[in-house]
Amino acid sequence: MLVGLSHQAREAKSWPFEQARLLLDRITRLRLSDAERDLAATLFAQGKFAEAVQALPALARPVIFQCGYGASGLPHMGTFGEAARPTMVRTAFRALTEDAIPTELIVFSDDMDGFRKIPDNLPNREMLEEDRDKPVTSVRDPFGEHESFGAHNNARMRAFLDGFGFDYTFMSSTETYKSGRFDAVLLKMLARFEAVQAIMLPTLGEARQATYSPFLPISPKSGRVLQAPTLERNVEKGTITFADEDGTLTEVPVTGGHVKLQWRPDWAARWTALEVDFEASGKDLIDSVRVSNKIVRALGGEPPEAFHFELFMDENNQKISKSKGNGLTMEEWLRYGTPESLAYYMYQSPKSAKRLYFDVIPKATDEYLQQLDAFNRARGPGSEGGSNSVALDNPAWHVHRGAPPERGSPVSFSLLLNLVSAADASTKDILWGFLSRYIPGATPQTEPLLDQLAGYAINYYEDFVKPAKTFRAPSDQERAAMQALVAKLKALPPPLDGSRGADAEAIQNEVFEVGKAAGFEPLRAWFSALYEVLLGQSQGPRFGSFVAIFGVERTIALIERALAGEVVAV
């Protein structure tokens, strides 16, 4: 699927390919000698990536993409973005390298973090209060379904990612600490304790500096993750000494899951131990990335390629916060739009702040559909899904991980919304009564995406459009123009032999000419008038397309009702 695209990938300008090229430069710089890099460059230029991997075994080690997940809460909109953006870069990298260099996306659950705050929406709060400050995987599951609350959330996370078809390797912080996978880097951090402290302490307030340690011991007595200063270190034994909750001096190994690192040292240790090559994070974490990068270098490692994306804003341009509950949730988007429309929104301009509210869903959906149509128009006969750099820069290529479907939707989401509005449709069956006439032979089975969109359109209309409808009476100019439009529509050729009569373009031309003859300036005022008077809203798709799908006779009746002062939909 992704073979044969390396030449086009080198020319592609979209941000995932820019990151993929930086990543390829990184692994050749870090893994190969000067002579090996020269050989790799020669083979890469010829598109001989498989030969390069065979000749240079260091390239056969997987390129590691990583994203983190806080296991003290349920998956959410940000979680989707955390996995979606690295996946887009990974797909671009695979195309750039002919899929010859192995890759892996690690989704890392921070489930060894202390359970500090109890979310308001959880049951059995008294039980959870008893487990406060324990690692999330030691907190009892308030839902009684799994061995711990961390396990519950991890299961939800994996089901969430599986539902969107992500290809990933799941890792648990608890398991990596307890299994010994982090032991070597933990011992190194113990040995270089002062260097780590020299990096961390300037980032902290005076009071915090006095007690800070990168190691958070887990009390052998209570099982809680403690913010306790390190009183003594024994590098030879690999232990630290701290005062337990009852004041008892206690010595524990830093290995084997007896301690948990503070989050920025933890990030650095993870990058070092797992040899992470790429991680994307929000703009608000730029300073934390810089600090963690310094710690990685103090541990003798190399920080990953960092990609920083802008944060989402709510309808009031305030930063979206889980604690505030502002903005848009994952479940809410998926009530009104496809996962692909959400992935498209995540793809678009990642370094620009964007509003994440209900009103962006119709626009994102239609833009995604337009991009998919453009990609399919660019497919050559027998091509592998558009094998040129322009096709690879199409968002649909990235949304569908290099394999966009060959069909989109013959009807836009905005047009469906207006059809629902005009027909006051409450079920998809009502909509399909119109759609099957507009697209002869179409059924929910032959047009599955259109059928999905019909359901989303009904939900969106009921929740947002219908409550906000505001009809108005036409002005004298608008009334005269609408009467002229009725005459034009009545003069259109009737359907013959099962055809649907005049097509959308012919109808649009007639509507355009009526508005022009009526003296509307600018002409868009004419189209706004049609939607405000007939549908109770200020904008919509091409009116000719709406008439073609709603039906000429029904549209005539709709206009005549409005001119008679009846603003209810037919």
Predicted pLDDT of residue 424? 82
What residues contact residue 290 under an 8 Å CB cut-off, 6+ apart? none
Predicted pLDDT of residue 570? 39
Cα(222)–Cα(226) distance, integer angstroms: 10
Predicted pLDDT of residue 182? 97
In the predicted structure, residue 501 carries a pLDDT above the cut 90: no
Architecture field, domain 205-261: Roll (2.30)
Cα(79)–Cα(85) distance, integer angstroms: 10
Mean pLDDT over 128-133 rounds to 96
pLDDT category at 472 given cuts 50, 70, 90 is: very high
Residue count (the chain): 570
Mean pLDDT over 419-435 rounds to 91
Does an H or E element contain 106, and which? strand 103-109
Residue 138 burial (C-beta neighbours within 10 Å; 0-12, 13-18, 19+): buried
pLDDT category at 567 given cuts 50, 70, 90 is: low
Would you put residue 449 in left (φ > 0), alpha (ψ -120 to 50) or beta? alpha
Burial 35-71 (b: 16+ CB within 10 A, else e): ebeeebeebbeebbbeebbeebeebeeebbbbbbbbb
Cα(73)–Cα(157) distance, integer angstroms: 10
What's the mean per-residue pLDDT of the chain? 92
Position with higher pLDDT, 455 vs 327: 455
Percentage of the chain with pLDDT > 90?
A: 79
- Three-state SS at 415: helix
Which of 401, 336, 341, 333 is CA-nearest to residue 371?
A: 341
User: Where are the chain's structural domains?
Assistant: 6-179, 205-261, 330-399, 469-570
In the predicted structure, residue 568 carries a pLDDT above the cut 70: no
Predicted pLDDT of residue 394? 96
Which of 412, 336, 417, 418 is CA-nearest to residue 373?
A: 412
Predicted pLDDT of residue 348? 95
Predicted pLDDT of residue 324? 56
What residues contact residue 205 under an 8 Å CB cut-off, 6+ apart? none
Cα(323)–Cα(116) distance, integer angstroms: 14
Predicted pLDDT of residue 177? 98
φ and ψ of 216, to 5 deg: -105, 105
Say which range, 46-55, 242-251, 380-389, has the weakest mean pLDDT: 380-389
Predicted pLDDT of residue 316? 73
Report the DSSP pairing between strands 215-217 and 259-261. Answer: antiparallel
Predicted pLDDT of residue 390? 74
* pLDDT single digits (tens) 162-178: 999 999 999 999 999 99
Mean pLDDT over 433-454 rounds to 93
Predicted pLDDT of residue 344? 97
C-alpha distance from residue 31 to each of 17, 56, 58, 138, 306 (Å): 21, 9, 6, 39, 18
| CA 344 to chain CA centroid, nearest Å | 8
In the predicted structure, residue 522 carries a pLDDT above the cut 50: yes
Which of 365, 372, 345, 356 is CA-nearest to residue 414?
A: 365
Cα(294)–Cα(375) distance, integer angstroms: 43
CATH code linked to domain 6-179: 3.40.50.620
Predicted pLDDT of residue 175? 97
Predicted pLDDT of residue 203? 97
Does an H or E element contain 557, and which? helix 552-563
Measured at the CA of 373, the angle between CA 371 and CA 378, to 5 degrees, comes to 95
* pLDDT single digits (tens) 284-296: 999 999 999 999 9
Neighbours of 169 (CB within 10 A): 13
Say which range, 69-83, 258-272, 398-412, 504-518, has the weakest mean pLDDT: 69-83
Q: Which fold has domain 469-570?
A: Arc Repressor Mutant, subunit A (1.10.10)
Highest-confidence segment of 197-201, 385-389, 564-568? 197-201
What residues contact residue 326 under an 8 Å CB cut-off, 6+ apart? 314, 316, 318, 320
Say which amino acid occupies 480.
A
* pLDDT single digits (tens) 9-33: 999 999 999 999 999 999 999 999 9
Predicted pLDDT of residue 387? 52
Specify whether the CB–CB gap between 353 and 396 falls below 8 A. Answer: no
Predicted pLDDT of residue 1? 61
In the predicted structure, residue 271 carries a pLDDT above the cut 50: yes
Bridge-partner residues for 249, per DSSP?
243
Predicted pLDDT of residue 385? 44
Predicted pLDDT of residue 500? 57
pTM (2 decimals)?
0.90
